[in-house]
């Protein structure tokens, strides 16, 4: 959950005369929310069938063919002086602004931007990057491997969108990347006569408004959706053009729309699209204000003490797959007896069981250095998919307070909710949505069902030389760590760099201790040790380097090989545990073998890993009995299949949860509206 304080809600903003009001601010009011509920039954089957048919379109061949046409224009633009190139850009801008463009105009535009990129930043997009640009312009998700230049590819469709005059949002995963890419690619846009800006957390309302009115705006998913909610709160009951016009007339030319920050949701290009649109899809963005309740705060402390005396399987049961805790009848009776000596909040049966269940979930399912860390006396969430700290987020429905009570920290007072929206529903509101990522194929069905965006797999510029070695499966966790240490030493002795991926801070710190015991120099990158992230990742490809890192999604920095490393075999990546989604594994493995470099990958896992035990419990129990006396590797088709089955089950469950959140969002919109409290 992303929580924003009441102070962040705009109240009175100085009146600004905006000459672009009719064509820009009105976009917010004209916005047609893609609000159709997800289909069910036969409708869902029909929609899925349409997705399969749509996926048969030869988009990749078409985009690569059009990329060749762009290359044929190379000589035409390369012979132009800078002034003539700017003039050609102005002519194209006028064509796109009037929406009189055709296929050949788009190809000319991409060829021009390609030449501008070569002159301004010294990088000329490859044919595959041009093909990716066509995919983005057509509203597709472009799957481009790590290191293939997604950031540069986005400049071509973004420039055309800027020329059309309705703005383009390029969504990144953090403020650092938004600022870096805006500055880095800004030279291209400015040469083409466009303005470029970025949004960051500390910006004032006026600065944000100016940034959104730029032709190209780089921002994070959190910031752009939060600004949307603020604008919706400012609009209140104003829902359309007629209502806005009447309000403006009644106020003598002054209207609530003059306070809006954004000018509408026209076109979004999302970097790390699978992370934003799938992994974080169910994260609700919430604007809230303080609602002090000392009795409730005290109840969380009392609940932490009460549940410490409850017995698992007797007083409560844990469903590891669904991450749920359920009180038994005996547990409910014990809780009722204990509540007799407590305050009024404990006297209601439903209320006390809800508080106790939250405390049990915090105790049993949320662990320090895994789901969260403690920083400066506060509970800070660790992103499951990127391993990053998220200090601006909190769990909802009392879970955050339950975790604070468990850790005996100061409890954050509960808050009232003013507006909320999930990321998946927010991004469905854009007139045109596209994205780029290194891993999207596994979620092709979901991208179609939720966003109706097809996947286009773009080939690499150079043939991939990565060697994907078969998984090594061990019977116990202890033997797994021993084997990982052995593999690290073996590869390190050949002067090859090694990257070890873990799923938690705790696991990364444990490997670090093992490496220190073997006197192997290494660096650790996790939610606690993140200060020099870019430098650590950039140097991870040097000869003999050992790097231990939590999940690598959205790092934004490529690992380039040092001198002589390619000749020795390149970077070797070890996954110490499989993830719930195969995409996350591919994100880690994709850190090697970039741009035709050599490299190798391998997962070293055990039957005691939490992931496989949760989603394939019966199979794992059988395999443990079968290999009870085997202390060596038990790698086979059967043991590897158990991990794949667990991933399929986890992915299916996650999709079902995301669909449920979507339906809940629709229900909340219909029942509560944006202006009310939940």
Q: State the architecture of 465-644 in CATH terms.
A: 3-Layer(aba) Sandwich (3.40)
- Specify whether the CB–CB gap between 482 and 632 falls below 8 A: no
Rounded Cα–Cα distance for residues 542 and 313 (Å): 51
Residue 65 in this model has a pLDDT that exceeds 70 = yes
38 closest CA partner among 677, 676, 664: 664
**Tokens describing residue 35:** 């609000």
3-state secondary structure of 620: helix
- Specify whether the CB–CB gap between 77 and 111 falls below 8 A: yes
Residue 8 in this model has a pLDDT that exceeds 70 = no
Q: What is the pLDDT of residues 300-311, one digit of tens each?
A: 999 999 999 899
Instruction: Find out if CATH 3.10.129.10 is the number for domain 292-413.
Output: no
Task: Please give the C-alpha separations between residue 670 and each of 38, 449, 541, 663, 673, in angstroms, as whole numbers.
Answer: 15, 21, 52, 11, 6
Q: What is the pLDDT of residues 393-408, one digit of tens each?
A: 888 888 999 999 999 9
**Tokens describing residue 514:** 């093992």
Q: Write down the mean pLDDT value for the chain.
A: 85
Q: What is the pLDDT of residues 408-439, one digit of tens each?
A: 999 988 777 788 888 888 999 999 999 999 98
Which helix (H) or strand (E) is 227 found in, with range?
Answer: helix 221-235
* Superfamily of chain region 2-32+40-286+424-457: P-loop containing nucleotide triphosphate hydrolases (3.40.50.300)
Rg (CA), the chain: 27
CA torsion 439→445→447→449, rounded to 10°? -170
- pLDDT the model gives residue 670: 66
Rounded Cα–Cα distance for residues 518 and 511 (Å): 11
- Specify whether the CB–CB gap between 365 and 400 falls below 8 A: no
The 10 Å Cβ neighbour count of residue 54 is 12
> Looking at the chain, which residues constitute the CATH 3.90.1440.10 domain(s)?
292-413
**Comparison of pLDDT for 538 and 73, the residue scoring more:** 73
Poorest-confidence range of 179-193, 283-297, 549-563, 602-616? 549-563
- pLDDT the model gives residue 532: 67
Beta bridge pairs of residue 319 = 324
Q: What is the pLDDT of residues 312-341, one digit of tens each?
A: 999 999 987 778 899 999 999 999 998 888
User: Using 50, 70 and 90 to split pLDDT, how confident is the model at 2?
Assistant: very low
> Looking at the chain, which residues constitute the CATH 3.40.50.300 domain(s)?
2-32+40-286+424-457, 465-644
Q: What is the pLDDT of residues 127-136, one digit of tens each?
A: 999 999 999 9
Beta bridge pairs of residue 324 = 319
Q: What is the pLDDT of residues 566-590, one digit of tens each?
A: 999 999 999 999 988 888 899 889 8
Average pLDDT estimate for 551-564: 73
Rounded Cα–Cα distance for residues 605 and 578 (Å): 7
Rounded Cα–Cα distance for residues 605 and 640 (Å): 10
The fraction of the chain above a pLDDT of 90, given in percent, is 53
């Amino acid at each position: 959950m992303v929580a924003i304080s009441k102070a962040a809600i705009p109240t009175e903003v100085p009146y600004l005369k905006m000459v672009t009001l009719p064509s820009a601010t009105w976009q917010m009011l004209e916005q047609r929310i893609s609000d159709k509920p997800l289909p069910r039954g036969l409708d869902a089957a029909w929609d899925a069938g349409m997705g399969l048919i749509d996926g048969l379109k030869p988009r990749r061949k078409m985009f690569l063919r059009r990329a060749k046409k762009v290359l044929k224009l190379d000589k035409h633009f390369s012979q132009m002086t800078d002034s003539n190139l700017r003039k050609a850009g102005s002519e194209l801008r006028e064509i796109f602004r009037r929406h009189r463009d055709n296929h050949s105009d788009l190809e000319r535009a991409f060829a021009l931007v390609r030449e501008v990129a070569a002159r301004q930043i010294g990088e000329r997009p490859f044919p595959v990057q041009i093909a990716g640009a066509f995919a983005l312009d057509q509203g597709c998700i472009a799957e481009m491997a790590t290191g293939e230049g997604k950031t540069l590819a986005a400049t071509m469709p973004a420039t055309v969108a800027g020329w059309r005059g309705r703005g383009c949002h390029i969504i990144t995963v953090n403020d650092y990347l938004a600022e870096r890419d805006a500055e880095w690619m800004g030279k291209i846009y400015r040469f083409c006569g466009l303005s470029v800006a970025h949004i960051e957390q500390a910006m004032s309302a006026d600065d944000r408004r100016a940034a959104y009115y730029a032709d190209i705006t780089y921002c994070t998913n959190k910031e752009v959706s939060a600004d949307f909610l603020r604008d919706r709160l400012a609009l209140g009951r104003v829902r359309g053009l007629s209502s806005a016009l009447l309000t403006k007339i009644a106020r003598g030319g002054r209207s609530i729309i003059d306070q809006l920050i954004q000018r509408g949701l026209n076109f979004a290009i999302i970097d790390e699209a699978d992370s934003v649109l799938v992994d974080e899809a169910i994260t609700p963005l919430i604007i809230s204000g303080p609602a002090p309740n000392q009795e409730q705060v005290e109840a969380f402390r009392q609940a932490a003490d009460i549940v410490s005396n409850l017995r698992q399987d007797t007083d409560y049961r844990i469903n590891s797959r669904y991450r749920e805790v359920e009180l038994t009848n005996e547990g409910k009776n014990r809780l009722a007896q204990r509540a007799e000596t407590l305050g009024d909040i404990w006297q209601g049966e439903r209320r006390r069981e809800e508080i106790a269940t939250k405390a049990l979930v915090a105790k049993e399912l949320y662990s320090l250095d895994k789901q969260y860390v403690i920083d400066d006396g506060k509970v800070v969430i660790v992103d499951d998919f990127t391993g990053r700290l998220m200090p601006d987020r909190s769990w909802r429905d009392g879970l955050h307070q339950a975790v604070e009570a468990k850790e005996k920290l100061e409890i954050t007072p509960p808050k009232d909710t003013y507006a909320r929206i999930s990321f998946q529903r927010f991004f469905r509101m854009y007139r045109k949505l596209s994205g780029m990522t290194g891993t999207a194929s596994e979620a092709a069905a979901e991208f179609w069902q939720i966003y109706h965006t097809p996947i286009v797999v773009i080939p690499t510029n150079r043939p991939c030389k990565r060697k994907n070695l078969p998984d090594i499966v061990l019977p116990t966790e202890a033997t797994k760590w021993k084997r990982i240490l052995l593999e690290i030493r073996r590869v390190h002795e050949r002067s090859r760099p090694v990257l070890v991926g873990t799923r938690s801070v705790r696991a990364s710190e444990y490997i670090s201790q093992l490496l220190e015991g073997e006197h192997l120099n290494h660096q650790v990158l996790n939610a606690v040790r993140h200060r020099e992230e870019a430098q650590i990742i950039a140097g991870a490809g040097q000869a003999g380097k050992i790097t231990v890192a939590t999940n690598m999604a959205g790092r934004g920095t490529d690992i380039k090989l040092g001198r002589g490393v390619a000749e020795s075999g390149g970077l070797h990546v070890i996954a110490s545990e499989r993830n719930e989604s195969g995409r996350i594994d591919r994100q880690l493995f994709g850190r090697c073998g970039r741009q035709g470099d050599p490299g190798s990958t391998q997962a070293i896992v055990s039957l005691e890993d939490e992931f496989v035990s949760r989603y394939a419990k019966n199979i794992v129990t059988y395999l443990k009995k079968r290999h009870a006396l085997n202390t060596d590797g038990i790698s086979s088709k059967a043991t590897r299949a158990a991990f794949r089955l667990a991933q399929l089950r986890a992915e299916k469950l996650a999709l079902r949860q995301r669909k449920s959140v979507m339906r809940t969002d629709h229900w909340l919109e219909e029942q509560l509206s944006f202006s009310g409290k939940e």
